[in-house]
Amino acid sequence: MSQGIPDSKRRGAETLHARVRRVTNPSQARIVGGRYRVLKRAGEGLTACVYFAEDMQTRRRVVIKQLTAEAASDTALATRFMHEVHAVAAINHPNVVRILDYGAPAYEQPFLVMEALPGETLSQLLHRENTLDFDLALFLSRQAAIGLCAVHRTGTVHRDIKPDNLFLAGPPGNPTGLKIIDFGMAQLPDNRHAIGDGRFVVGTLQYMPPEQVLADPVDARADIYSLGIVMFRLFTGHLPFEVDAGLDMLGHQLLSPLPPIGWLNEYVDPRLESIIVRATRKRPLNRYQTMAALLRDIETLGDVPLEAMNATTGRPTEPDEYLPVSARAQEIAAGLALRFRRTPKPPPPDPEEAPESTKPFDLARKR
């Protein structure tokens, strides 16, 4: 009986029940591209939403990325989205997420359809376990490098390599492979539709090289740096700079060398440390110049003596301070240097040998 329930509350309950019924009833579910039934929302970014869906023709589960209505109304963003689709589809590699379908119909926002795989992101695994078995960490590093070799062969730079964008296929905790996902920040081959375009920073600060921090031009060596930071995280259980993602992080990525890995994990092979050090040098010219070269050192890690590896990797060559390219980058770098680093000064003279007029001031005596 509803005698004791006020009409306003009863109408509200009926409305809520109707909304739930509309969402859960397959006949009322939203259809994308006339073929894909949306099951639930998986996530949302600045310009796009991601959904789990079902292909009504094959009954296969898929993942759909679709521009928001606001982003779709921006011609530049919509054009870039379709270029992203074509660029990723052209990679066609087992270690890169596969695009199954895409569309830009007049009656709805542009979308792309990707394979849906069982598994989890590397970020989820690290959140649960923090440190990984050495063999698993090396396997995942190699898989990521292989995938990025394929990405770079097409002229694409991912620009946002981090654990969130490395998907581990297979049972949680026991992955059988790795796939690179989310090319939303990628620099595409023709570079005509790049997000940022030197005007603002794109990517994730904790994993970004100095040139990307300063919105200078980037190439494949930016992904090499980012993968080096991921490897540092895999083999130590820590990020090299564990500070808030603000000015402090900007300053560290631009000015601070990585702490020695042996401080955090004394069991790391020095040859592996040499690889990570070379991948994460501040100057792009001091890093590996290609992902293939980094992959080769990962694959031959156990076969190359430390002395031979140090001849080509080792500790950073001097100088290894990043040299900004654009005037804006030079201005930002100068400001960060003033904030985080004092101007170097020559050592003070010996008090006993210095002339009286130049002897240092004794603060304790003056008090």
Structural domain boundaries of the chain? 32-115, 119-340
pLDDT of 258 higher than 50: yes
271 against 201, higher pLDDT? 271
Nearest to 85 by CA among 48, 55, 135: 48
Q: Which fold has domain 119-340?
A: Transferase(Phosphotransferase); domain 1 (1.10.510)
- Judge contact between 51 and 64, C-beta under 8 A: yes
Q: Is 297 a catalytic residue?
A: no
Separation between Cα atoms, residue 31 and residue 332, nearest integer Å: 47
**Catalytic site residue from 7, 74, 133, 160:** 160
Nearest to 251 by CA among 341, 345, 159: 341
Could you identify the residue written with the tokens 């700079």? 241
pLDDT of 139 higher than 90: yes
- Judge contact between 7 and 15, C-beta under 8 A: no
Name the band, by pLDDT with cuts 50, 70 and 90, for residue 311.
Answer: low
Q: How far, CA to CA in Å, does 28 sit from each of 19, 22, 38, 67, 219? A: 10, 6, 10, 22, 46
pTM of the model: 0.80
**CATH fold match for the domains 32-115 and 119-340:** no
The CATH code belonging to domain 32-115 is: 3.30.200.20
pLDDT of residue 12: 44
Separation between Cα atoms, residue 118 and residue 272, nearest integer Å: 30
Name the band, by pLDDT with cuts 50, 70 and 90, for residue 312.
Answer: low
Could you identify the residue written with the tokens 């009833």? 25
Rg (CA), the chain: 26
Separation between Cα atoms, residue 353 and residue 146, nearest integer Å: 61
- Judge contact between 248 and 287, C-beta under 8 A: no
pLDDT of 20 higher than 70: no
Nearest to 211 by CA among 220, 340, 238: 220
Query: Average pLDDT of 152-178?
Result: 94
Separation between Cα atoms, residue 286 and residue 206, nearest integer Å: 20
Name the band, by pLDDT with cuts 50, 70 and 90, for residue 279.
Answer: very high
122 against 301, higher pLDDT? 122
Q: State percent of the chain over pLDDT 90.
A: 50
Query: Average pLDDT of 96-105?
Result: 93
Own/partner long-range contacts of 80-87 (Cβ < 8 Å, ≥24 apart) = 80/188, 80/193, 80/195, 81/47, 81/48, 81/110, 81/112, 82/110, 83/188, 83/190, 83/193, 84/183, 84/184, 84/186, 84/188, 85/110, 85/112, 87/154, 87/156, 87/183, 87/186, 87/188, 87/189
Query: Average pLDDT of 216-224?
Result: 96
At 46-80, the pLDDT tens digits run 889 999 999 999 999 999 999 999 999 999 889 88
Q: Report the range out of 198-207, 293-302, 332-341, 351-360 with the highest average pLDDT.
A: 293-302
pLDDT of 18 higher than 70: no
The mean-pLDDT minimum among 30-39, 210-219, 356-365 falls in: 356-365
